[in-house]
Structure 1
Amino acid sequence: MDLSRIKLVVTDMDGTLLNSKHQVSPLFFDLYKQLRKNNILFVAASGRQFGSIAEKLAPIRDEIIIIAENGAFAVQQGKELVSTPLPGGKKNEVLEKLSSVSDAHPILCGKGSAYLSESSREFQSKLQEYYTTYEVIPDLYEFDQEIVKIAVYHDISSEQYIYPAVRSFESDLQVKVSGEHWVDLSHPDAHKGYALKKIQENYGISPEETLVFGDYNNDLEMMSLATYSVAMANAHPNVLSAANYQTLTNDEGGVEHILQKMLENF
């Protein structure tokens, strides 16, 4: 794997850059300094809320590009690069479908805040890991502000319980199993690949100059835009199959392992 031409490094957060305790390693921040020194652009791409990603990467948040909400929203140094709202009228259709699923917790995701219902109040302690800013509101059906995504959490398995209930929306929306407990519904163009393509075009960076790390199905589109697509050893089988390369698990520093090898060439 010749990484000497890399100009752009993109990594997912949960299950990839973050360990199982949702932490970023000190080693990564040291490696990031070397990336910047060599004029290599860094992008954090996640299903998380913008504020949550920025908090995890606080020391470098003002220097990097952040792709949030699975590609529906992207920001660089306070400048909005991508904003792709959920199509009007779809929210309540999705909520109606989810009403028949036991233990499903839908969250309406705006660019600045997330919204959950009174019935999901006990879910707040888990939500706080992924959303730094949120409000509990009386009725999600009555909410009429712009949202970029509906995220749905299930305690046991999103793929088993949530996805079957909402897969019928795939003809109109982007429906992604984005983690063991999460399914995200958004605009058809609201995915990490769409946002990454915009960044590549803005900077004139090719797939051959792009290194991408991922672990779940919501990473597939952005991995297809990189010659150097790397799956974590803990990745979903779909990602392991799609990626051109594989690294260690997120708890073994798989991202850092590849970055160290790459930086030996600079």
Structure 2
Amino acid sequence: MIRLFASDMDGTILQDHSTIHPDNVKMVRYLQDKNIPFIICTGRDFYQASLCLKPENLQCPIIGLNGAIIYEEDGTILKEVTLSHEDTRALIQKIELHQNNWDMMTSNGIYSLHFEEKFAKKVETFKHNHPELTPAKLEEELIKLRQLFEAIDVSSVEEVLADPSVKIYKILTSNDEQESALLEIRSFVDTQLPNLVATSSFRTNIEVTHKDAQKGIALHHYAETLGISMEEVFTIGDNSNDVSMLKLAGYSVAMGNANQEAMATAKYQTDDNKHGGVAKAIQKCLEQQN
């Protein structure tokens, strides 16, 4: 019997960068009406995840930043796992050696190397990919984009590390042109930084957290607080940062748009994120239990 349902966000319950598929909204409401626990497991923080949940009047616990923080429904932190400043400095130095940009999720918010420059490029890419939007609709979407990616612009990691009280949860770097650079950074984490773990939510990025900050570990902890075993947990995702929770769950599902690693790990497969794959998978699970 499945007693806890857990879903990734990007590429899974979301049909685009900020909108939950209508069928998935209905299914989450159904579970909550039946008092069946549902939790979001995402690489985003509470604020970023809430930007997608609030328009649908949904509220639920959130495992954020790939497992670095477990939030209650109201944003209260239930558990957190942080990176040391020493490991952070070593990782950032390696990232910058490859001329990669980085984003750092912290207790003071998100810091981003040369944020304004990066965001301007993101806006141009968005405009290029959506020529069909009217000026008014484009402005509306760009406001959403700004809210989603808003960060504190910095020019050096030392601007962040100068504050010894700041807690560092996750570091993200991306490279759309040189995947070899990402492979080298990932290898550096695997071989030189034993306290950290590298994963990804897209083919062109790497997300680094403490080794104890993974979706699977955090979900296991959350399930235990409810008196639920991982055999009684449903998980669904689409990418490498979902693998740790797909491995541990009694009922695991890969999205139709999932990458090869997630596909190979999950026990079942569903439709893609643009066609309500989450709702279809949960419906199938519920039917199998009856």
Residue 39 of structure 2 corresponds to which residue in structure 1? 43
Q: Match for 1:27: what amino acid? A: D
Residue 10 of structure 1 corresponds to which residue in structure 2? 6
Residues 12 and 273 of structure 2 are in contact (CA less than 8 Å); yes or no, is this contact kept in structure 1?
A: yes
Please state how far the C-alpha of 1:131 moved relative to its aligned partner. 4.2
Q: Alignment length, in residue pairs?
A: 259
Larger Rg over CA atoms: 2
1:16-66 superposed Cα distances (whole Å, 9 cap, x missing partner): 111245421122222112101222111111111221111111157774111
Residues 21 and 274 of structure 2 are in contact (CA less than 8 Å); yes or no, is this contact kept in structure 1?
A: no
Q: Structure 2 length normalisation: TM-score?
A: 0.81
Residues 81, 21 of structure 1: CA spacing in aligned structure 2 closer, same or farther, 3 A cutoff?
closer
Residues 48 and 130 of structure 1 are in contact (CA less than 8 Å); yes or no, is this contact kept in structure 2?
A: no
1:87-124 superposed Cα distances (whole Å, 9 cap, x missing partner): 2311111111112224x220111145100123x43212
Q: Structure 1 length normalisation: TM-score?
A: 0.88
- Larger CA deviation: 5-14 vs 164-173: 164-173
Residues 69 and 149 of structure 1 are in contact (CA less than 8 Å); yes or no, is this contact kept in structure 2?
A: yes
Residue 124 of structure 1 corresponds to which residue in structure 2? 119
Residues 130, 16 of structure 1: CA spacing in aligned structure 2 closer, same or farther, 3 A cutoff?
farther
1:190-239 superposed Cα distances (whole Å, 9 cap, x missing partner): 11111101111100112232110011111111112211100112111111
> Which structure 1 residue ranges, 5 or more long, are not aligned?
none
**C-alpha RMSD of the superposition:** 2.3
> Which structure 2 residue ranges, 5 or more long, are not aligned?
124-144
- Distance (Å, rounded) in 2 between the aligned partners of 1:15 and 1:62: 18
Q: Which of the residues 219, 244, 247 maps onto 1:224?
A: 247
Residue 95 of structure 1 corresponds to which residue in structure 2? 92
- Larger CA deviation: 141-150 vs 216-225: 141-150
- Distance (Å, rounded) in 2 between the aligned partners of 1:40 and 1:134: 35
Residues 16 and 254 of structure 1 are in contact (CA less than 8 Å); yes or no, is this contact kept in structure 2?
A: yes
Please state how far the C-alpha of 1:142 moved relative to its aligned partner. 3.2
1:9-88 map, 5 Å:
9-58=5-54, 63-76=59-72, 77-88=74-85
Residues 112, 62 of structure 1: CA spacing in aligned structure 2 closer, same or farther, 3 A cutoff?
farther
- Distance (Å, rounded) in 2 between the aligned partners of 1:112 and 1:205: 33
Residues 180, 71 of structure 1: CA spacing in aligned structure 2 closer, same or farther, 3 A cutoff?
same
Structure with the bigger percentage of helix: 2
Pair 1:140 & 2:136 matched: no
Q: Which of the residues 177, 183, 200 maps onto 1:163?
A: 183
Residue 126 of structure 2 corresponds to which residue in structure 1? none
- Distance (Å, rounded) in 2 between the aligned partners of 1:148 and 1:188: 11
- Distance (Å, rounded) in 2 between the aligned partners of 1:242 and 1:79: 32
Residues 150 and 184 of structure 1 are in contact (CA less than 8 Å); yes or no, is this contact kept in structure 2?
A: yes
